[in-house]
Amino acid sequence: MLAYEELKGSTGREIWFRPPRFSARELFPSRAPRVRVGTSAFQLHDISLGGLAAISKNSGDSPLEVGEVIPLTVQQCGLPIFEAQARVCRVENTHFGSKIAFAFVDAFVEFDKLLNRNVQAQIAAQPLLLNSEAHQLVPKEYRVLCSDILRVLRSYRTLLNHNVGSTREVRHQLDDNSAYEACEGRMVEHWRSLWRTGNDIAREVMGHREVREATKEFTELVLTPEMRLGAIWDRSYAKPLGYPGDFLVMNQVYTGERIGTDVYQQLIHRLGLEVAECIGTRMEVVRTHIGNVVRERGQGRAAKILSLGCGTAREVELFLSTQRATGRRADFTLIDQEQAALRYAYEHSYPHVIASKGQFCVQCINLSFTDILRWTNGISMLPPQDMIYSVGLLDYLTDRRATALVHRLYSALAPGGLLIIGNMNETPLSNLWPMEFLADWTLEYRNDAEMMGWANGLQAKCAWTETEPTGRVRLLFVRKP
C-alpha cells in the first residue's frame, strides 16, 4: 500500500483530464454506425462523452469548416441512435480520408442508452433488410454469386468436419497438414474464379453510389462474417488501429504463416493471402531496385534511400540481412505516420545495421500525412535522395493529390535518382471486389496512362510503368537526368 505522498498524478499535458474515448470497432464490434451531417454520411471513428470523430472516404473533400455548428446524427441501419448539435473542432487530412472531430454543444453520450438503441435499431432493421428498396438495388447476379461462394466455402467446411469426426470415431486423428494441403489448391482455384466474377459485377456498380452502398451492405451482412473466420480478413475489416492495411496485416502477408484454430479458418486466411500476394511481390521488386541503387551509388559515398509510408520496411530488413562486407554504403530514411510500424521496422533492421559496422544507417521519421504533403517538420531538411519509393500510399489519394506528391518527391531526388511509385492496377483480377466489398477497404485503381500522367511536366530522363508478377500492382518509375 502506498502512502498519500507516494501517489502520483499526471505530468505535462496529461494533467488535463479527458473522458475516455472508445473506437467504433471496440464499441460496436458487429456493425459500426454511420455519422450523418446534412446530406453527407461519414464512418464513425471514435466517440466519447462529449464528442466524436468521423472519417470521410475522400481526403480533402469535407465541406465543413472549423468552428461551424451543425446538426449531427449517429445512425445504425439508417435509424437514429443519437442526435446533437455539434461544433466542428478539427479537420485533418489523412491518406485514408478526411478525419473530422466534433464536440457536442447541447447533448452528451449516455453509453448504456446508446448501446441499447444500437441493438434496437439493428433488430428493427431486420425485416427491412430483406424487403427494403436498398436491398432491391443489389444486382440479382451478385446475390447468386454470394450464394455460390457460401456454398463452395461451406462444402469444404463440411468435408473437413466430416472427415475429422470420422477419424476420431476410429481413434485416429486426421493430420491437419494433410487436410490443409488436400484442400488448398482446389479451394484457391475455386476462389479465383469466383473472385473474377465478383470483379466483373463490382465494376458495374462502382459508378452508381446507391447501388454500390446497397451491394456493400449486403456483402457485409451475408458474406463478410464467413470471411472474417480468416485472420487477415478479420483484421482488414475490423481495422483495430483505425485504418486499413496496418503493418500487422502487411506482416501476415510477408510471413505467409497458416493462422487459425482449425484447418477451415487457416484456409479462409489462405484465400486472403492469395488476394494480398501482390503486397509481397511488389516488396520484392523494390528490394531488387534497392540493391541496384546501392551497387551503383554506394561505393564512394553512402546511397541515400527514402521510403514514404514505409510500414514495417520489410524490403530494407531483407536487403540488410544479405549484405556482408561489400564495402558499399547506404543511408535509409523511413517515414510513416504510425509509431508502432516505425518501432517494428527499426528494431528488426537495427541488428543488421550494427553487424554492418558502419556500412549502413537507418533513421525513422514519424510524420502525419498532412506534414508529408506540406513537406515540413524535418522532411524538407533531408539531403537529395538517390532513390525514393512509396508503394502503398498513393492508392488512397485523389489524382490531384497524387500528382502533387509525385512532383514533390521528384524534386527531392539527387541527379540521376530514381522514383518508384506503386498503385493498385486496373486488371480483370484486381483486388477491387475482395478489398472494397468484403473488407470495406477503399482504394483507387489506376492504369498505365493514369499513372504516367503523374510524370507530366517533370522533364525526366525517362519514365515508364511495370507490373509486379501478379499484375495487380502497377509501378511507376521516373529517372531524373
* Domains defined for the chain, CATH in brackets: 18-131 (2.40.10.220), 134-275 (no CATH), 278-479 (3.40.50.150)
CB hemisphere CA count around 250 (13 angstroms): 22
The pLDDT-based confidence of 272 (bands split at 50, 70, 90) is very high
Phi first, then psi, for residue 182 (nearest 5°) are -65, -35
Look at residue 127 and tell me whether its pLDDT is greater than 80.
no
Grid cell, residue 177, equals: 497438414
The pLDDT-based confidence of 12 (bands split at 50, 70, 90) is low
pLDDT, mean over the chain: 89
**What is the reported pTM?**
0.82
Grid cell, residue 390, equals: 512509396
pLDDT score for 35? 93
Query: DSSP character for 105?
Result: S
pLDDT score for 408? 92
For residue 435, the one-letter residue type is M
pLDDT score for 29? 81
pLDDT score for 38? 81
Say what percent of the chain tops pLDDT 70.
90
Beta strand 22-23 with 360-366 is unpaired
Per mean pLDDT, which range of 16-30, 250-264, 367-381, 410-424 is the poorest? Answer: 367-381
Across the range 344-360, mean pLDDT stands at: 94
pLDDT score for 98? 79
pLDDT score for 26? 84
Please give the C-alpha separations between residue 27 and each of 4, 92, 112, 459, in angstroms, as whole numbers.
35, 23, 11, 51
Look at residue 361 and tell me whether its pLDDT is greater than 60.
yes
Beta bridge partners of 478: 419, 463
pLDDT score for 370? 72
Look at residue 95 and tell me whether its pLDDT is greater than 90.
no
Look at residue 364 and tell me whether its pLDDT is greater than 70.
yes
Look at residue 2 and tell me whether its pLDDT is greater than 60.
no
Q: pLDDT digits over 180-201, tens only?
A: 999 999 999 999 999 999 999 9
SS3 of residue 465 by DSSP: strand
Query: DSSP character for 57?
Result: S
Per mean pLDDT, which range of 25-34, 228-237, 384-393, 423-432 is the poorest? Answer: 25-34
Say what percent of the chain tops pLDDT 90.
68
The pLDDT-based confidence of 128 (bands split at 50, 70, 90) is low
pLDDT score for 125? 72
Across the range 400-420, mean pLDDT stands at: 95
Cα-based torsion angle of the residue sequence 117, 120, 122, 127 in order, rounded to the nearest 10 degrees: -150
Look at residue 349 and tell me whether its pLDDT is greater than 80.
yes
Residue 422, Cβ density class (10 Å: 0-12 exposed, 13-18 middle, ≥19 buried): buried
SS3 of residue 467 by DSSP: strand
Across the range 210-216, mean pLDDT stands at: 92
